[in-house]
Structure formats: C-alpha cells, structure tokens
Amino acid sequence: MPRIEHVVVLMLENRSFDCMFGRLYPKSAAFDGLAGTETNPWHRPDGSVEQIAVWNSPTLSPEAAAIPDPDPGELFTDFHMQLFGLDGAPQPTMNGFVDNYMRQPLLDRPPDPRAVMHYFTPRQVPVISRLARSFGVSDRWHASAPCETWPNRYFAHCGTGGGFVNNERSRFPRRWPRPMPTIFRRLGKAGYSWKIYFHDLPQAATLFRLWLDIPTHFHLFEEEFARDARSGRLPNYSFIEPRYYAHRLTNKVPNDQHPPHDIVYGEQLIAAVYNAVRGAPTWKRSLLIVTYDEHGGCFDHVPPPPAVPPGGPYPDGFPFDRYGVRVPAVIVSPFIAPGSVLRPPPPPAGKPPYPFDHTSIVATLEKLFDLAPPLTPRVAAAPDLLGALTLAEPDNDGPERIVAHPRRPVMAETWAYARRPHNRLQRNLKSVRAGIPGRAARAIAHGHRLHARLGSKTGGH
C-alpha cells in the first residue's frame, strides 16, 4: 500500500464533468469527454423544438466565467427532469437540461437556453486542468445522489445522505433524523487526526455528531491551512470548504464556483490548496482530491448508473439507488503517474461495476487507516482510490507551484454579489448558526470575526 499519511479533500460546488473537463483531452475510449456535437432539445411554449448544442465562450470575461447565469434548478424534481427528460423516460437520457432550465421561475431576466450547455476549455481553467494533466483525472466519478448540496456532502462525510433529497432548513435541527455516524469520529476513535478548514459558514457543521468538535476541529482556512502545511502539521485528514458568501467589509466574493459565481476565484483557491500541500514537508506522503459536490444543473452526457442504497430511513421516498451526474475529480499525489485517466478496477466476477463517487473518499480513508467495518452499504460497495496510486515510489512531484489568474474583485463586484438573491445553499446554511447550540455556535461566530479581520492581511488567500 502506498505510504499515504495525509489526505486532503477540497470540495467545490455545482459543476458537471463536461462543464469543466469535457475538452481536457480529445474524446476517445480512454477519455469520455465531449465530441462537440452533443445537444439537448428545447421544447418551446409554441410547440416547436430546437436542438441546443454544447458550446464555449471564446473569452473568459467575468460574465462568461459565471455561466450559467441565472442559477439552474437544483431540487430533486429538477434533477429528475434533467436526467430523464420532459416526458420522464424509464432510463436516464440526459436530454432534459435545457427544458428544465427554461422552466425555472424568472428572476431578473429571461434565461439563455444555451447557458447550461456551456463548457470551459483547459485554457480557461488552467489551474485544475494542469493538475489533471500533471497527475490524474477521473471520468468515472459521479455525485453520490441526484440531489443538491447537503445530501451529497453528507455522503462524503457519512456514506449516506440521511434520507432527504433536498437542502431543507425547516428540517434542521428539529426534524432531522437520528444523527449519522461520520468518518471524522471514526478517525478520531482510531487515533488519527482530522480538521475541517472553512471560509465562512461550514456546511459540515450541520452534522449533529460534530457539534462538540466544532471548537477544536473546525479551523479558518485563510488563517491556518497554509501554516499547518508549511510546519508539517497537517492532520491525517483535512476537509476544505470554500467561501459561499460575498463579504462586503473585506471585499471578498464566493470562491466555490457555484453558478453564477466567477470560476476564477475558485481556481485561485485550488491553486492555494495545491501550493500548500505541494510545498509541505509531508508532500511525499500526501493525497489531494479536488472534486465538486454535484453538477448544479450543468449538462453532462453520461447517464448515472444504479447504485447500492446506503440504508434507510428514506423519509422522502427515494432509496438513493442511483448516482448523481458526473462531477470533476482530480487526484493529486506523487504516487500518481502524469496524465492518468482514473477509472475503478473491474469488479469481481458476478458483481456489478460501480463508479467512483463521494463515498470513495470514505472507502479510501477506511482502507488506508484500517477503519473497519464500512460506515454504510454504499461505502462497502464504493471503489477506493488507492489503486490509482500506481507508482512504486513517490516520484511525480508535479509543478513546484501553480500561479492562478490574479483577478481580484473590485468593490462594485462584491456589492453586486451581496445584492443577489441567495441561492438555496446560501439560504439554508443560515440555519446552521441558528440551530447550533452553546460553545459550538460561539466558535462559528468567532470564525466569522476572524474571517473579517483577516481580509486586509490575506487578500482572500
């Protein structure tokens, strides 16, 4: 087994594989990207049908970097239409993205039907593309469920979504089901260290079983991550959450890449994480995973396959027996050969093949640190990532440092972000501070104050 002692996960927001990586390499049997001819129908109100093709804006202006704008639909019913089409086919056809987008409630302007079919080129997302080419990218990594943010992030932490298909602050905390076991507690009980690094409001703080750990295990990314890496004090497991909100006092904007947030700021965050891990004395024993919680309504052409249910209860009636849409996933380690396209190994005879998904993170930690038994049946079925570490020695050092686009928000841009209506994730995260009691809530509030104070010193990273 590769000598990995430090696992770092950065989970961003709401981009599909085709949106970010569809043109990373030419489409082939070895890389399931875009051919450039993929389309989705738009059933107009007048009864006519127009085929909308995938496309790319040749420039990366702030407007192009925020496509799709407005934000696509993210409810379970939205994702069902995106996957199964307007008429609800028996199997996923991936032809309902445009129709669903054009049926969203109007906000400030009519949507462009082409928006959800847009993709970025490697030249436009150079940081994540360079990491993918210098190390490995998976074209077989799906979101854990065809749901929005909260359930998918819970799969990464708990191996289950808790039974609910949407972000529901009305269910937090009064109506939330029994507390779910987490990989964090499993690590701690086995003597391994862990931290959650966050920017403003950590979604992981909605997990009941972590409330007592918030004062000691939740840390501000801008204050501590690079320092911990530089001093060789990164824990055995680090989970990083991006900035979800605009902060006018410190002139900071979201860096989560959630549409319609400018993807350049997310690229800067990816670079900051990589540079810290790469420059750490623990680099030769590290594994970095950069992925996204769900596709956010952005087009992808690969149908999600059936999945192993994680175990009930299922209060919303969906047994979580299907994966979500493919999302970008970059696997970085000196044990990974440059240019790798990572796929799960063939399954044992008589077993169905399963793709990578967010529970692969949990499965990797369980195998690496001998944390049996698996948290859930989904984790037990998930392929881990250790087979991707194919080099006998940690010989692939990759780029010594990656420099991201230097774009910084002007105050008018920050205020424009702040005036936008909050997306569903932002609205529901407000319930985190309202629901967390006592010392844990004070720790989160303290983090907010530090975040504001750090603004002038860190410039955002």
In a domain, 285, yes or no: yes
Handedness of CA 341, 342, 343, 347 (dihedral sign): positive
User: What tokens were used for 319?
Assistant: 């047994």
Tell me the two tokens of residue 286: 């590290």
Q: Which residues contact 219 (CB under 8 A, 6 or more apart)?
A: 195, 196, 197, 198, 225
3-class secondary structure for 233-291? CCCCEEEECCCCCCECCCCECCCCCCCCCCHHHHHHHHHHHHHHHHCCCCHHHEEEEEE
Q: What is the pLDDT of residue 454?
A: 45
With respect to residue 322, please indicate whether it lies within any of the assigned structural domains: yes
Structural domain includes residue 147:
yes
**For position 349, what pLDDT does the model report?**
85
Q: Which residues contact 391 (CB under 8 A, 6 or more apart)?
A: 334, 335, 336, 337
Phi then psi dihedrals of residue 301, to 5 deg = -95, -5
Q: For strand 194-198 and strand 136-138, is the pairing parallel, antiparallel, or unpaired? A: unpaired
Would you say residue 80 lies in a domain? no
Q: How many residues does the chain have?
A: 461
Hey, how many other C-beta atoms are within 10 angstroms of the C-beta on 445? 12
| pLDDT (tens place) for every residue of the chain, 461 residues total | 679 999 999 999 999 999 999 999 999 999 999 999 999 999 999 999 999 999 999 999 999 999 999 999 999 999 999 999 999 999 999 999 999 999 998 766 789 999 999 999 999 999 999 999 999 999 999 999 999 999 999 999 999 998 889 887 545 544 444 478 999 999 999 999 999 999 998 999 888 888 888 889 999 999 999 999 999 999 999 999 999 999 998 999 999 999 999 999 999 999 999 999 999 999 999 999 999 999 999 999 999 999 999 998 898 899 999 999 999 999 999 999 999 999 999 888 888 899 999 999 999 999 999 999 999 999 999 999 999 999 999 999 999 999 999 999 999 999 999 998 888 899 888 766 655 655 556 666 655 555 444 443 433 32
Partners of 306 in the beta sheet?
322
Domain around 293: 6-39+121-458
Q: Report yes or no on 252 lying in a domain.
A: yes
Q: Is residue 78 part of a domain?
A: no
**Residue 177 is assigned to a structural domain of this protein:** yes
Q: Per the domain annotation, does 91 fall within a domain?
A: no
Collapsed DSSP state (helix, strand, coil) of residue 153: helix
> Where residue 339 sits, what CATH number does that domain have?
3.40.720.10
- Give the number of domains in the chain: 1
Contact 291, 308 (CB under 8 A): no
pLDDT of 398 reads 97
